[in-house]
Amino acid sequence: MTDRTDGDKRMSKGGKPTGDVFDIERIRQIVELMEEHELSEVDLQQGDDKIRLARGSAAPLYMQAPVAHAAPMAAAAAPPPSGAANAASAGTFTINAPMVGTFYGRANPDSEPFVKVGSIVTEDTVICIVEAMKVFNEIPAECRGKIVEVLVGDQQPVDFGKPLFRVEKLA
């Protein structure tokens, strides 16, 4: 049956109609937006109307979370980006956890943090401690730059590859 009773070919819920999905002009505008901002995919849906556009090597589709009681993945468990550079913020990259453990931003509760936003780090600068198996491992920056964001909270569990700090390259 091509016209299910529930299929309301409706206008947009608010005032204005969604208009013709097949309107070339609108598609062109979206595409230009994609190019400008290096989007790989746009997927718009409203009721039965749908516009999906993909550029470049089709981005992998991730499965949605399992049904109902299936557990969401732990925050710490998000598949970490392996490298450093992250396209989302040009000119910056992240320092990632080299091991599993608990993150400490300061040597002890009364100390100053090893680094703060604005700190300049070099290869040997200790930026945090990751504690595992009762060993407090001092983590060096292993790069040069300026800390622009601290990405994990104190005493938060981190795993291998977890981004810890965002760093801006210094010229």
Contacting residues toward another protein, per CB under 8 A: 1-2, 4-6, 60-71, 73-74, 76-77, 79-80, 82, 99-102, 132-133, 157-162
Residue 93 token pair: 């990259």
Residue 161 token pair: 């590859």
Ranges within 3-32 binding a copy of itself (CB under 8 A): 3-4, 6-9, 11-14, 16, 18-22, 24, 26-32
Q: Closer CB to another protein, residue 81 or residue 113?
A: 81
How many chain residues bind a copy of itself (CB under 8 A)? 50
For residue 14, the partner it binds in another protein, a copy of itself, none, with Cβ less than 5 to 8 A by kind, is a copy of itself
What's 130-160 look like in SS3? EEECCEEEEEECCCCEEEEEECCCCCCEECC
Can you tell me which residue has the tokens 């937006």?
33
Ranges within 54-113 binding a copy of itself (CB under 8 A): 54-58
What is the CB neighbour count within 10 angstroms for residue 6?
6
